[in-house]
Amino acid sequence: MDRRVIVTGGSRGLGLAIAGHLTSNGWQVGILARDEAGLSEAVRSRAAVTSVAVDLTDSTAAGLAIDQLAADLGGVDALVNNAGKVLRSRFEKLDPAQFRSVIEQNLFCAVHATHAAIPHLKQSGGGSVVNISSISGIQPLPGGSAYAAAKHGLVGWSRSIFHEFRDEGIRVSLVHPGSIEAQESSGVPAEEVARAVAAILEAPPGTVISELEVRPLKPPRA
């Protein structure tokens, strides 16, 4: 099986962990993000073989970037939509432009990347789209209403296109991580989420792991 995958938001954090883990397991990985320096470092460290700097909220730019990585990789067998951002603020204090920005980053980046990748997946005979959601995509997040709204939208969209593309051999999956471990807080190690993504991508033909929650065993502590 060909193993060519594009990871969005791949220059740092969870996206970089996913890219590095897939690379170490024999995937040819291309990454997208806005951070040119971070992308260059990821390629230098061999977490990926190629990269393109792009703002995925721009649908035209997203299409060109996906096409470029598809050419670099010789095709696309999988797409991991990880790009996004968290904004914590009470709703009444949110500027409408901030709310819209969070929706664009966490929903439309995935929509634009997937729209551009589908023709390449079909050309490869099928493949996988893995959308990184959040526990906040299936439950409330007080103080993070814009993020929860975006992730709930991502979940509804993903569940819908799952049914649209399954007969064409394209698997659509959702991963709902809990809080990701960081220097200042406990949570799920990014590497464990990366392992879960790899397991979804490497599921036997004819099967799909449609949704998966990855939570820390103990409640996160700030």
Residue with tokens 């551009």: 116
**How far is residue 97's CA from residue 214's CA, in Å, rounded to a whole number?**
31
Kindly state the helix (H) or strand (E) to which residue 131 belongs, with its residue range: strand 127-132
- Sequence-distant (6+) residues with CB within 8 A of 117 are 6, 66, 70, 76, 79, 129
Catalytic positions are 147
Please report the sign of the dihedral spanned by the C-alpha atoms of residue 164, residue 170, residue 171, residue 172: negative
CB 145 within 8 A of CB 93: no
